[in-house]
Structure formats: structure tokens, C-alpha cells
A and B are shown apart, each in its own frame.
Chain A
Amino acid sequence: MNAFRFLGDMTHLFSVLVLLLKIYATKSCSGVSRKTQELYMVVFLARYMDLFTDYISLYNSVMKVVFITSSAAIVWCMRRHPQVRRTYDKEQDTFRHVVLVAAAFVLALIFNERFTFREICWAFSIYLEAVAILPQLVLLQRGRNVDNLTGQYVFFLGAYRAFYILNWIYRYFTEGHHSRWISWLSGLVQTGLYADFFYYYFLR
């Protein structure tokens, strides 16, 4: 575990906590894309299947449980919570996220480390995570009312992936040259998607 990865995990955790706080404290999810939250829940479920089969470390297992439960809690709030669900602007959140799921799945069938169920699910989750933010970015640019908690949420998500890129560079030079090209390429795409958001966010 290097500092970049730890910082990345912490900013990722913080982004989810900021969103949970916003929804819980304001009892509102205006400006938040439910589709992005559903995609993230699928990402975590597909990637953390090994939660019960492979024990890597207490940290790893605890964080997986936290990410799965928090993303499920956010989706539950936006779908079921009587007060919060009313503030979800359905007609604004129009991105056809099914297309993202299908594209990620097809990519995972073609590009994976081994053609096994586990590896295909893992690659699927990596590809899907790279594009999961799109519905949220569309909502932000359409809405123009980037309320600061949602803006901060996206900012921390971008920072998390940027730290992971530093982590991969660090690991490449210190731990030998394992091929992590699936993570590297999709991580770059993901961080690239945030670049234009950061452009708008800082120029706002």
C-alpha cells in the first residue's frame, strides 16, 4: 500500500460520504444523477465479488463493504426514501445508461486478462467505472446550478482516480512491470472525462 493509493481510497471514500451527507442533511438529491449512482453500485457489486472468497487485508475487506453499502444506501434513498425521492429530477437525468452497461460488458468479453467469469466481471467493473460519471456530468452541465456539495462530490471522485494514476506509476517503477493495462487505460479515460468538468468547475 503506497501513499497515492491510500490517498486515492480516502478521497473516494470522502466523495461518497459527502454525497451521503448532502442527501441525508438536506433530505434532497436535486442535482444528483440517480443513474450514475446505480452504475456505481453495479461497479462495486461486479468488482467486489471476491469479498467472500479472497481475503487480502482487513482494510481491503472493510473498504469493499463500505463502498457496496454506501452506494446501495444512496440508490435506496433516491428510489425509496419518501422525502428524498421527491427531489429527484427524473426528466433531467436522461442519459441512456443502459448503453454504458452494454458497452462495458461487450468490452469486458473482448478485453480481459482471462476469459473466466471473475475476470470478465472485474474488467466489466473497471470499464463501467470509467464511464459511470457521464450521466452526472451531463446533469451538471445541463443544470448549470452546480450546487457546491454535488460539485465537491465530482471533484473528489476525479481526485481519487488521479491519485490512482500516480499509484500505478509508482507501482510500475517499484514493483516491477506487471501489465495492468486494463486499469491504466480505463483509469486514464475516467480521469480524462473529469478534465472538462474541472475546466467548467474552476471557471464557474
Chain B
Amino acid sequence: APADNVKDEL
């Protein structure tokens, strides 16, 4: 699922 490797961290 794309959600799990969204780079949401800086």
C-alpha cells in the first residue's frame, strides 16, 4: 500500500 512508505518524515 502506498501509505506505508510515504516519506512523511523530514
Q: Please list the residues of chain A having a beta carbon within 8 angstroms of any beta carbon in chain B.
A: 5, 9, 12, 47, 50, 54, 56-57, 60, 63-64, 67, 113, 122, 164, 167, 176, 178, 183
Contact = CB atoms under 8 A, between A and B. Distances in A.
A197 B9 CA distance: 26
B5 A56 contact: no
A9 B7 CA distance: 15
A66 B10 CA distance: 11
A176 B4 CA distance: 9
Contacts of B4: 176, 178
Contact of B10 (A12, A54, A176): A12
Nearest to B9: A5
Contacts of A167: 9
Contacts of A178: 4-5
B10 A9 contact: yes
Interface of B: 4-10
Query: Interface on chain A toward B: helix, strand, loop, or mixed SS?
Result: helix
7 contacts: A5-B9, A12-B10, A67-B10, A113-B5, A122-B7, A178-B4, A178-B5
Nearest to A44: B10
B2 to A, nearest CB: 10
Contacts of B5: 113, 178
